[in-house]
Amino acid sequence: MSTLDFKPFYRKHLPHIQPPGAILFVTYRLADSLPRHIIRQLLDERNAIEKQIAALPDAQQKAERYQAHKRLFAKWDRTLDRADSGPMWLRETAVAQLITNSLHYLDGDKYDLDCYSVMSNHVHVVFQPLLGQDGRYFALARIMHSLKGYPAIEANKVLGRNGRFWQHESYDHIVRDEAELNRIRQYVLYNPVKAGLVDDPADWPWSYCKFW
C-alpha cells in the first residue's frame, strides 16, 4: 500500500483521522512559519493535556479530547495570525493566485470544495474527499500532496527561491455535523478580519465559500 493510499487513521507528528465520507477542515502552513520554541511549547501542552485526558473515565475522554483539540487549534492559529517573523510568501498576489487555483483545480475531481481562506503564512480549507474509480475515497495524504506539490514548485519560481515551501504536516479536523460546519465556515471566512487584514470578510480576495 502506498503512503498516499486511503487509510482511516495515520500518524506522523500529529494524528490524522479520515473516516470514509467525512468533511475535513484542514490548515496547512508555510515552512518555518513558526519558531521551533513555539512549536515545542504547543506540542508539550498537547502532550500534557493528552495525559490528563487519558486519566479520565473512558466515557469522558472523547468529549474532553474534542474540546482540547479546539482550544489548541485556536491557540496555534492565533500564533500564526500574529506572527511577525518567518515567511509571508502568500501575501504575494501571484503566489496567492497559484494557491487558490490549486484549490479549485481539485474541486469535483478529488474532493467537493466547501470553503477556504489563504492567509499570509497559512491556508484554511474545508472539503469532502470524493470516491475514486477504485471505489475508495481519495486519501487526505494524496489530496495534500496535490495541493502542496505543484503550487510549491511554481511559487518558488515566482519568488526566485529554492527550498522547502510548505511545512510537511497539516492540521486536520473532522467536521461532526451541520452546525459545526457552519461555525467552521464562519471561522474560515472571518480569519482575515481577525488577523487585521480587512474589515469585512467580503473584501478579502483570497477567500471562497460555495454556500455563503
Domain ranges of the chain: 17-32+88-209, 34-82
Q: Residue 13 has what pLDDT? A: 47
Q: Say which range, 1-15, 40-54, 58-72, 192-206, has the weakest mean pLDDT.
A: 1-15
What kind and span of H or E run contains 158?
helix 140-159
For 36-95, the pLDDT digits (tens) are: 888 788 788 888 888 888 888 888 888 888 888 788 888 878 888 888 889 999 999 999
For domain 17-32+88-209, the CATH architecture is 2-Layer Sandwich (3.30)
Contact (Cβ atoms closer than 8 angstroms) between residue 102 and residue 148:
no
Can you give the pLDDT at residue 4? 41
Which amino acid is it at 189? Answer: L
Q: Quick one: 188 exposed, middle or buried, by C-beta within 10 A (0-12, 13-18, 19+)?
A: buried
% of the chain exceeding 70 in pLDDT: 92
The 10 Å Cβ neighbour count of residue 190 is 16
Which has more confidence, 199 or 51? 199
Beta bridge partners of 137: 131
Rounded Cα gap, residues 24 and 18, in angstroms: 8
Q: How confident is the model at residue 16 (pLDDT cuts 50, 70, 90)?
A: low
Per-residue model confidence as pLDDT tens digits over 97-111: 999 999 999 999 999
Amino acid found at 160: G
pLDDT at 96: 98
- Report which secondary-structure segment, H or E, holds 4: none
Residue 127 and residue 113 in contact, taking contact as beta carbons nearer than 8 Å: yes
Q: Let me know the angle formed at the C-alpha of 12 by 8 and 15, rounded to the nearest 5 degrees.
A: 50
Identify the band that residue 139 occupies on the pLDDT scale cut at 50, 70 and 90: very high
